[in-house]
Amino acid sequence: MTTEVTSVSDCSVHNCGFNHDGCTAYAITVSGSPEHASCATFIDTSQTGGLPMVLAHVGACQRTECTYNSHLMCNKHDVKIGSGADVADCLSYAPR
């Protein structure tokens, strides 16, 4: 089980309400379909959301088949979010 919280080191999804030169959500949730992992916190809006600073972490990971998933938490040092199969995918996802 991990004892560290994984940070979101990069987000290239410019139309997300939490992305302001980095992710300003306190924590994101990684979810998705069997083919890929996506950022469930993504919200397509022009509204500004989140904290006044970049501080995002992975709060929960629903992708139990990911190499980095340990007890529904991400144990990778950091993750990158960006365009993949969906607009906002976890680009660090690695199936076992």
How confident is the prediction along the chain (96 residues), in pLDDT tens digits per residue?
A: 768 899 999 999 999 999 999 999 999 999 998 888 999 999 999 999 999 999 999 999 999 999 999 999 999 999 999 999 999 999 999 999
Domain ranges of the chain: 7-90
- The per-residue DSSP string of the chain comes to ---SPPEEEEE--TTBTTBSSSB-SSEEEEEEETTEEEETT--B-SS--S-SS---EEEEE--TTBTTEETTEE-SSEEEEE-SSSSSEETT--B-
